[in-house]
Amino acid sequence: MAATMRMGRGNYWRGCGLLTLCLIMATALPRVVADPDDDDVYRLVLLHTNDMHSNFHQVDKYGTPCSAKSADVTKCYGGFARVKTAVDNERKNAENAVLYLDAGGSIRNTAPHTYFKTKSMADLMMKLKPDAMSLGSKEFKDGLVNIKNFIHDIKIPIVCSNIDVSEEPLLSTEKNLMKSKIIKIKGRKIGIIGYLTPETHNGASEYMGNVKIKPEKEEIQNEVNYLKSNGVNIIIALGHSGIETDEMIAMEVKDIDVVVGGYSCTFLYKGKMPNIDEPYDSYPVWVEPPSDSSIFWFFDYSIPKSVPIVQAFRDTKYLGKLVLEFDMDGNVTSAEGNPILLDYTIEQDPDLLKYLKEMEESIEKLTSSVIGSTSVVLQGSNRFCWTQECNLGNFVADAFVAHNVRTNMKSFDLTQQWTDASIAFLQSGVIRSNIGPTNPAGVITMGDILLVLPLLHDVGKVTVKGSEIRRIIEQTVQPSSEGNGEFLQMSGVKLVIDHKYRVKTIKVRCAICLVPVYKTLDPDADYTIIINENLVTGESDFKFNQLVTDYQSLGKWITETEILKREIEIKRLIRPEISGRIIIVTDSDKELMTDTESLEDEMGDVTETADDGELYDFGVESTVTLVGSFF
């Protein structure tokens, strides 16, 4: 993919007006190329990671933890032990200055993190030894006490210019949380300014106390001015706000030299792709800020400098490597590189592997506890769930609805309604594995549950218009959602989709009713639905984001994983099925169903049945038997 230069509007018109003049001058002026032996050139190898998501062990090409069976083959990537080897090798072999930065997103609720909380991440990050790091959007989800311990224990500078902790006693005295950090490497001062997305409040406000996160631009600019006044002329913005904000910072904040970002998990690459990940743009992305100089800026040599932006995808799969050259004034004169794919050719650090093994042994008791059993295969992998309805997706979505009924039924007027939220959605990508009846008596352990749902997203309720439900469903069935985990698993919704990926009918289960039935979705009606926070805060671009105003968590620590655990404990033996919630009609089916009305007749108004006082969606039989893949 060709490199991209994003320009300010003023620069565009100035460039058009001076094009002829520049062409003439280009024939007369010598081209300045850095001499490798030039003492005035400062060379810096910038290593960077972001959004490692507590993937302490290796992952497959999709970012799913590698199973024990596949851990020794060539299809596993990353893991902290491999990141450490790659960073150590670069530091050992570099002839020039080396700076390693982490742009946040290290914490996520995997099994080790669930057990050890922030202590495990603090210990592991200190073994990787970044020179500085930013906060991520998930760090506050463990509560203020845990984030305080993390900041205090980690012994690595944590930078964040736009966070205000002055009114939060637990954090206001933490000296390791700073707006910026000056690092001196091989005789040059480098200023690192941190930032964090204000969207952090969306999924963690109840855990953040009096912590405030301000818009990034002004706070970063203030810190740039401070660093410049202290003789720092190489300034790097390091943060966790997403690629669009990274580009805004590069374009609108004066005197930023490099932006190292995270949060959007953006893959940038120059040249042939090393794996299945398709790049958003070239590495690095270049942005040219607008200039206030006059049209004759070239007579004063005040050439506006372009700013390189980098990210390194997610899940420890890559280590970013950008080789920079600066002149004596701190201007970037060259920036070249690419992310390094951390595949099997890079050995895992043996000492860190030993440390991880000790961690595993200490949580074995937790993961081996028996939760229930299954008499059927629980299909949760990408093969089964990413393009079609799957039985484990059905069970988890049903569990969302059942948990809400079970915990809130006393607040319902049962003469009018059986629930306040009869619909649930979750992205297939959060379900990471199958569970099969391969253990004795089909046993399901806590380890199985953590393998299936390792991310532990919060679960809550939002109220949206029917039109927003249609929009998100239409997006989920598009070919662009294939293979990325955005396909929705659902409860309380029945769809018919044609062979051209068009949604023909949507029927939804009523909530304000005595007996649940399915009726046609009303685009103007309000519906309260249950979703995991990923569909609100938007770790991907796929989310309910247009009309959501009132996300209400089902409770502290009520994650998708906890809900699944409780549902299996209640049922003890489970056997979820494919129930015809998503009917995909191919060309051959058109002979069976000639129009939408016929399909609607087949779906009908389906009455739910009760089992032990709880309501479940057992689906409806259809003569359209082709329920499954888009391929």
Band the pLDDT of 429: cuts 50, 70, 90: confident
What is the model's pLDDT at position 604? 45
Mean pLDDT of 167-196: 97
Q: Determine the Cα–Cα distance for residues 445 and 456; give it in Å rounded to an integer.
A: 16
Band the pLDDT of 483: cuts 50, 70, 90: low
Token pair belonging to 597: 């009305």
Task: Give the best-scoring range by mean pLDDT among 58-72, 122-136, 580-594.
Answer: 122-136
Q: Determine the Cα–Cα distance for residues 196 and 177; give it in Å rounded to an integer.
A: 13
- Please determine, for residue 327, whether its predicted confidence score (pLDDT) is greater than 50: yes
| pLDDT tens, position by position, 285-323 | 999 876 654 444 444 444 567 999 999 999 999 999 999
Band the pLDDT of 177: cuts 50, 70, 90: very high
**In the beta sheet, which residues pair with residue 459?**
532
What is the model's pLDDT at position 477? 80
CATH ID of 5-358, from 3.10.450.710, 3.90.950.10, 1.10.1740.10, 3.60.21.10: 3.60.21.10
- Please determine, for residue 23, whether its predicted confidence score (pLDDT) is greater than 50: no
Task: Give the best-scoring range by mean pLDDT among 66-70, 85-89, 106-110, 587-591.
Answer: 85-89
Q: In this structure, are residues 425 and 400 in contact, taking their beta carbons and an 8 Å threshold?
A: no
The more confidently predicted of residues 506 and 447 is 506
Token pair belonging to 278: 């398709």
- Please determine, for residue 36, whether its predicted confidence score (pLDDT) is greater than 90: no
3-state per-residue secondary structure call for 410-425:
HHCCCCCCCCCCCEEE
Mean pLDDT of 120-140: 94
What is the model's pLDDT at position 486? 81
The more confidently predicted of residues 432 and 194 is 194
| pLDDT tens, position by position, 56-83 | 999 988 887 786 655 566 889 999 999 9
What is the model's pLDDT at position 2? 42
Band the pLDDT of 168: cuts 50, 70, 90: very high
Mean pLDDT of 487-495: 95
What is the model's pLDDT at position 145? 84
What is the model's pLDDT at position 597? 42
| CATH architecture label of 369-616 | Alpha-Beta Complex (3.90)
Q: Determine the Cα–Cα distance for residues 592 and 600; give it in Å rounded to an integer.
A: 13
Task: Give the best-scoring range by mean pLDDT among 201-205, 350-354, 496-500.
Answer: 350-354
- Please determine, for residue 122, whether its predicted confidence score (pLDDT) is greater than 90: yes
The more confidently predicted of residues 39 and 44 is 44
Asked whether the bond before 215 is cis by omega within 30 degrees of 0, the reply is no
Asked whether the bond before 65 is cis by omega within 30 degrees of 0, the reply is no
What is the model's pLDDT at position 590? 52
The structural domains of the chain, with segments of one domain joined by +, span 5-358, 369-616
Token pair belonging to 415: 């003469």
Of 236-250, 300-314, 501-515, the poorest mean pLDDT is in: 300-314
Secondary structure class of 256 (helix, strand, coil): coil
What is the model's pLDDT at position 455? 73
Token pair belonging to 407: 């915990």
Q: Determine the Cα–Cα distance for residues 467 and 547; give it in Å rounded to an integer.
A: 10
Fold: same for 5-358 and 369-616: no
Secondary structure class of 99 (helix, strand, coil): strand
In degrees and rounded to multiples of 5, residue 284 shows phi and psi of: -80, 165
Integer CA distances (angstroms), 86 to 49, 91, 101, 348, in order: 11, 9, 14, 9
Task: Give the best-scoring range by mean pLDDT among 159-163, 371-375, 558-562, 600-604.
Answer: 159-163
What is the model's pLDDT at position 440? 66
- Please determine, for residue 340, whether its predicted confidence score (pLDDT) is greater than 60: yes
Which residues neighbour 24 within 8 Å (Cβ) at sequence distance 6 or greater? none
| pLDDT tens, position by position, 525-566 | 999 999 988 787 654 445 665 445 578 889 878 999 999 999
Pairing mode, if any, of strands 582-584 and 493-497?
Answer: parallel
Handedness of CA 437, 438, 440, 445 (dihedral sign): negative
Q: In this structure, are residues 453 and 512 in contact, taking their beta carbons and an 8 Å threshold?
A: no
Residue corresponding to tokens 């060539």: 74
Of 169-173, 257-261, 538-542, the poorest mean pLDDT is in: 538-542
What predicted TM-score, i.e. pTM, was given to this entire model?
A: 0.67
Q: What is the mean pLDDT of the chain?
A: 83
* H-run or E-run covering 334: strand 332-337
> What is the largest distance, in Å, between two alpha-carbon atoms of the chain?
87
Q: Determine the Cα–Cα distance for residues 491 and 618; give it in Å rounded to an integer.
A: 10
- Please determine, for residue 103, whether its predicted confidence score (pLDDT) is greater than 90: yes
What is the model's pLDDT at position 329? 95
Residue corresponding to tokens 């805004």: 248
The more confidently predicted of residues 199 and 424 is 424
| pLDDT tens, position by position, 132-144 | 999 998 888 777 8
